[in-house]
């Protein structure tokens, strides 16, 4: 591990790389703005859920929330994702609205989780979002597409851009990658139709960014993440209230971008792990990893707890033998924030049922 002194020596290099990254991003956005790069539109409206940063801001819970909200408003919804770190390539129908057709390895962990959390909603993955959107409209009965992680993917025209900012991100994160964690400068938020702050239960909003958004005249709303008191059994066995696990010995593990939020959620439920293992985001669990995890819970006095995103990647032969539970995290908006979100969506989308471009 590099010492703090060695990290400081690297700062000039990181700054130079960040300037190069910024330059590429600036020219790319300029070329889209002047029409040198082509943005293509599909027949259905597109709502993008995205962010500025590398790493998790809560896009999956936000995608689930927005898709559910649109369905409540009367829209037939489909979800489109690139399928990050999947084993397949090209266009893949993960779920057709009736059944799940692909494994987490084939589709990627987040699309697999979306398919499970959104029954009745078609889910498609494709690195070419325009091609994936066109395929969805030909194959599935949808009249609005929710584009997961689409803010920087400008090749597909969208009708509404929702951008997530994490209230827990430190100030140092708001610099261009790799000096910070931004994919593009904060000025990119000018393209947003709404900024949605996440994890506000853990931290107050940074005044500088809030004021910048006010200067840009971008509406902003807040949300929080909540973990239900019921933990899901992964594999066999019933779901259990968290209070019934407080007397058990707990080993927790996850492979997510913000592992501290997972640990905080467990503590909020009164679950204090004795053993904790953190893996990289989107980690694929090898046989050696699974053996290590099994050794953490050697008898019936122990349970393993992980995230929903990690749970979809665990093989059945592992979950059949181990006592594994998944912690679900939901995005929650209060009434006023929800109404503001609905107002923005309805202003950008045609009325529900006014067009039906999807397959019958």
Helix (H) or strand (E) holding 5: helix 4-34
Q: What is the mean pLDDT of the chain?
A: 90
**CA 358/CA 360 separation, integer angstroms:** 6
Whether the per-residue pLDDT at 306 is higher than 80: the answer is yes
Confirm whether pTM is higher than 0.85.
yes
Containing structural domain, residue 304: 228-328
Q: Per residue in 245-293, pLDDT tens? A: 998 999 999 999 889 899 999 999 999 999 999 999 999 999 999 999 9
Q: Residue 310: which of 269, 253, 268 has the closest Cα?
A: 253
Q: Is residue 41 part of a domain?
A: no
Question: Who wins on pLDDT, 183 or 18?
Answer: 183
Question: Who wins on pLDDT, 255 or 154?
Answer: 255
What percent of the chain has a predicted confidence (pLDDT) above 90?
A: 71
305-326 average pLDDT score: 94
Q: Residue 203: which of 217, 173, 174, 223 has the closest Cα?
A: 223
pLDDT at 175: 77
Q: Is residue 277 part of a domain?
A: yes
Q: Per residue in 40-67, pLDDT tens? A: 999 999 999 999 887 778 999 999 999 9
Looking at the fold, whether 51 and 180 belong to one and the same domain comes out as: yes
- With vertex at residue 69, the alpha carbon angle to CA 67 and CA 75, rounded to the nearest 5 degrees, is 75
For residue 171, give the CATH number of its domain: 3.40.50.300
Looking at the fold, whether 174 and 323 belong to one and the same domain comes out as: no
Number of domains present in the structure of the chain: 2
- For the record, the structure tokens of 159 come out as 């009708």
Confidence label for 39 from pLDDT (cuts 50, 70 and 90): confident
Q: Is residue 357 part of a domain?
A: no
pLDDT at 359: 62
Q: Per residue in 210-258, pLDDT tens? A: 999 999 999 999 999 999 999 999 987 789 999 999 989 999 999 998 8
pLDDT at 5: 57
**CA 108/CA 93 separation, integer angstroms:** 12
pLDDT at 357: 59
130-134 average pLDDT score: 97
Looking at the fold, whether 275 and 154 belong to one and the same domain comes out as: no
**CA 292/CA 28 separation, integer angstroms:** 44
Whether the per-residue pLDDT at 2 is higher than 50: the answer is no
Confidence label for 324 from pLDDT (cuts 50, 70 and 90): very high
Looking at the fold, whether 173 and 278 belong to one and the same domain comes out as: no
pLDDT at 74: 96
pLDDT at 334: 97
pLDDT at 356: 54
Whether the per-residue pLDDT at 70 is higher than 60: the answer is yes
pLDDT at 302: 94
pLDDT at 154: 86
Looking at the fold, whether 323 and 177 belong to one and the same domain comes out as: no
Listed range (74-78, 114-118, 165-169, 305-309) with the worst mean pLDDT: 165-169
pLDDT at 29: 73
Expressed in percent and rounded to 5, the helix, strand and coil fractions of the chain are 35, 20, 40
- With vertex at residue 293, the alpha carbon angle to CA 290 and CA 297, rounded to the nearest 5 degrees, is 135
Q: Is residue 201 part of a domain?
A: yes
Looking at the fold, whether 105 and 197 belong to one and the same domain comes out as: yes
Looking at the fold, whether 208 and 257 belong to one and the same domain comes out as: no
Whether the per-residue pLDDT at 1 is higher than 50: the answer is no
């Amino acid at each position: 591990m590099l010492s703090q002194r060695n990290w400081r020596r690297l700062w000039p290099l990181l700054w130079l790389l960040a300037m190069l990254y910024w330059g590429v991003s600036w020219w790319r956005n300029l070329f889209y703005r002047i029409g040198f790069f082509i943005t293509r539109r599909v027949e259905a409206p597109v709502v993008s859920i995205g962010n500025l940063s590398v790493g998790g801001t809560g896009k999956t819970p936000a995608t689930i929330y927005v898709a559910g909200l649109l369905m409540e408003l009367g829209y037939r919804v489909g979800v489109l994702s690139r399928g990050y770190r999947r084993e397949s390539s090209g266009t893949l129908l993960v779920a057709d609205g009736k059944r799940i057709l692909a494994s987490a390895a084939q589709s990627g962990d987040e699309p697999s989780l979306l398919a499970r959390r959104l029954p009745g909603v078609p889910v498609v993955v494709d690195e070419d979002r325009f091609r994936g959107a066109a395929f969805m409209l030909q194959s599935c009965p949808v009249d609005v597409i929710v584009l997961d992680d689409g803010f920087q993917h400008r090749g597909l025209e969208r009708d509404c851009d929702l951008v997530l900012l994490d209230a827990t991100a430190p100030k140092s994160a708001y610099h261009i990658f790799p000096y910070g964690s931004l994919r593009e400068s904060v000025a990119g938020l000018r393209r947003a139709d709404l900024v949605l702050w996440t994890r506000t239960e853990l931290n107050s909003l940074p005044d500088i960014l809030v004021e910048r958004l006010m200067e840009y005249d971008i509406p902003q709303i807040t949300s929080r993440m909540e973990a239900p008191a019921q933990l899901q059994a992964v594999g066999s066995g019933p779901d259990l209230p968290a209070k019934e696990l407080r007397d058990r010995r707990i080993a927790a593990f996850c492979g997510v971008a913000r592992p501290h939020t997972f640990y905080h959620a467990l503590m909020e439920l009164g679950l204090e792990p004795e053993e904790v293992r953190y893996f990289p985001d989107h980690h694929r669990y090898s046989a050696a990893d699974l053996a290590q995890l099994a050794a953490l819970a050697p008898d019936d006095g122990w349970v393993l707890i992980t995230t929903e995103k990690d749970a979809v990647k665990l093989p059945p032969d592992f979950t059949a033998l181990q006592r594994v539970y998944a912690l679900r995290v939901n995005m929650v908006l209060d009434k006023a924030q929800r109404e503001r979100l609905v107002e923005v969506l309805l202003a950008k989308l045609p009325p529900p049922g006014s067009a039906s471009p999807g397959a019958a």
